[in-house]
Amino acid sequence: MLDRIKASLSSLAPAEQRVGRLVLADPRAFASLPVSELSARAQCSKPTVVRFCRSMGYDGLSDFKLKLAGSVSEGVPFIHRSVDVDDKTGDVLVKVIDNTVAAFLKYRNDASTFAIEKAAEALADACKTGKRIEFFGAGNSGIVAQDAQHKFFRLGVHTIAYSDGHMQVMSASMLRPGDCLVVISNSGRTRDLMDACDIARKNGATTIVITASGSPLAAAGSIHLSADHPEGYDRYSPMVSRLMHLMIIDILATCVALRIGGNKLQPLLREMKNNLRSKRYT
C-alpha cells in the first residue's frame, strides 16, 4: 500500500501530495488520527484528505485507514528470496512458495475494494446487456488474457482474448460504449497495449487495466486494478506477477458470477458439465 502511494505521489495535486507524504511519514499515526487533525497536519481541507483516499482507489477515509492499519500492523512484509544456482530442491520449493504467499497476502492488504467493485459492476453490466468483453495482453500477460477469456466464457459471456498487437488495435477500434476492455500488463509500458487502450477509451468503452501503479497504462484506463510486485528478474525466479494477475481475474470472475445470479448460471454450468461427460473416461 505504501509502495503504491509512493509510486502515485507525483501524479497527484499538490494538496493531495501533502496528504500522501503525511501517510508515508507515519502510517500508524495517520490510521489513528481524526480527519480534522490530518487536515491540519497536511495543511489542507478535510475534503482533500478524503479525495486523496479516493484517488488511491478506496471508498473513503474509513476504508483507507482500515486497509492502512492492516498493512502496517498485520501485513506480511515482502522479502524476495532469490533462487540460487546451488539451491537444493527443498530450498527452491520453500523460496518459490514463500515468495508467492507473501505477495498474495500483501495484495490482500493493499487491494482497493472500491476499484474492484467498479470493475465488477462494469463487467456485469456488459454481460447482462450482451455487450462485448475483451481481454488484451502481450507476452506472458497474453497467456493470462487467454485464461481470463476462458473464465468469463464459462459464465456464458461473449468474450475474446488477443495477444497480437495488430489484432488488439483493430478490435479496440470496434468497441463502443457499454463494451469492456480488460488490459493486463506487468510493466504497464507496452506500446501496443497502450495504443489499444487509448483507442477503446476514445470510442467510449470501459477500459479496466490490471498493471503496476505509476505506470503509463495505469493512468490510461478508466479503472485501475493495481498489481504491484517487486519482480525478481534473475534467470531462476518465476514471475509472481503472473499469479497475481490470475488471482485478480479470479476475483473479478467470481464477483461477476454473483451479480449474474445463480438462477441463470447454475443451469448453464450444469448443462456444460453434463455435455462434457462423454469426453472423459468413466
pLDDT tens readout for residues 22-74:
999 988 889 889 999 999 999 999 999 999 998 888 888 988 888 887 666 55
pLDDT tens readout for residues 204-217:
999 999 999 889 99
- Specify the pLDDT at position 73: 58
CB-CB contact of 261 with 267 (8 Å): no
**Could you tell me if 149 and 254 lie in one domain?**
yes
Q: Which three cell numbers stand for residue 224?
A: 485501475
**Could you tell me if 136 and 201 lie in one domain?**
yes
Phi, psi of 159 (to 5 degrees): -145, 160
Where is the domain boundary, 42, 73, 104?
Answer: 73
Whether residue 206 is contained in a domain is answered as yes
- Specify the pLDDT at position 38: 95
CB-CB contact of 110 with 226 (8 Å): yes
Distance CA 274, CA 281 (A): 14
Burial of 234 (0-12, 13-18, 19+ CB in 10 A): exposed
Amino acid at 146: Q
Whether residue 82 is contained in a domain is answered as no
**Could you tell me if 68 and 117 lie in one domain?**
no
**Could you tell me if 123 and 67 lie in one domain?**
no
CB-CB contact of 175 with 149 (8 Å): no
User: When comparing pLDDT for 202 and 101, which is higher?
Assistant: 202
Whether residue 95 is contained in a domain is answered as no
pLDDT at 78 over 80: no
Q: Which domain holds residue 58?
A: 2-73
Where is the domain boundary, 23, 51, 73?
Answer: 73
Whether residue 108 is contained in a domain is answered as no
pLDDT at 271 over 60: yes
Number of structural domains the chain divides into:
2
Whether residue 103 is contained in a domain is answered as no
**Could you tell me if 118 and 180 lie in one domain?**
yes
CATH of the domain at 252: 3.40.50.10490
pLDDT tens readout for residues 117-139:
999 999 999 999 999 999 999 99
**Could you tell me if 154 and 241 lie in one domain?**
yes
Whether residue 84 is contained in a domain is answered as no
**Could you tell me if 160 and 257 lie in one domain?**
yes
Whether residue 88 is contained in a domain is answered as no
- Specify the pLDDT at position 28: 86
- Specify the pLDDT at position 116: 94
pLDDT tens readout for residues 137-171:
999 899 999 999 999 998 888 899 999 999 999 99
- Specify the pLDDT at position 238: 52
Where is the domain boundary, 23, 56, 73?
Answer: 73
- Give the relative orientation of helices 14-25 and 35-42 as an angle to the nearest 10 degrees: 110
Torsion of CA 253, 254, 257, 259, to 10 degrees: -110
**Could you tell me if 161 and 212 lie in one domain?**
yes
SS3 sequence, the chain? Answer: CHHHHHHHHHHCCHHHHHHHHHHHHCHHHHHHCCHHHHHHHHCCCHHHHHHHHHHCCCCCHHHHHHHHHHHHHCCCCCCCCCCCCCCCHHHHHHHHHHHHHHHHHHHHHHCCHHHHHHHHHHHHHHHHCCCCEEEEECCHHHHHHHHHHHHHHCCCCCEEEECCHHHHHHHHCCCCCCCEEEEECCCCCCHHHHHHHHHHHHCCCEEEEEECCCCHHHHHCCEEEECCCCCCCCCCCCCHHHHHHHHHHHHHHHHHHHHHCHHHHHHHHHHHHHHHHHHCCC
Q: Which three cell numbers stand for residue 237?
A: 525466479
Whether residue 62 is contained in a domain is answered as yes
pLDDT tens readout for residues 163-206:
999 999 999 999 999 999 999 999 899 999 999 999 999 999 99
**Could you tell me if 128 and 238 lie in one domain?**
yes
Q: What percent of the chain has pLDDT over 70?
A: 92
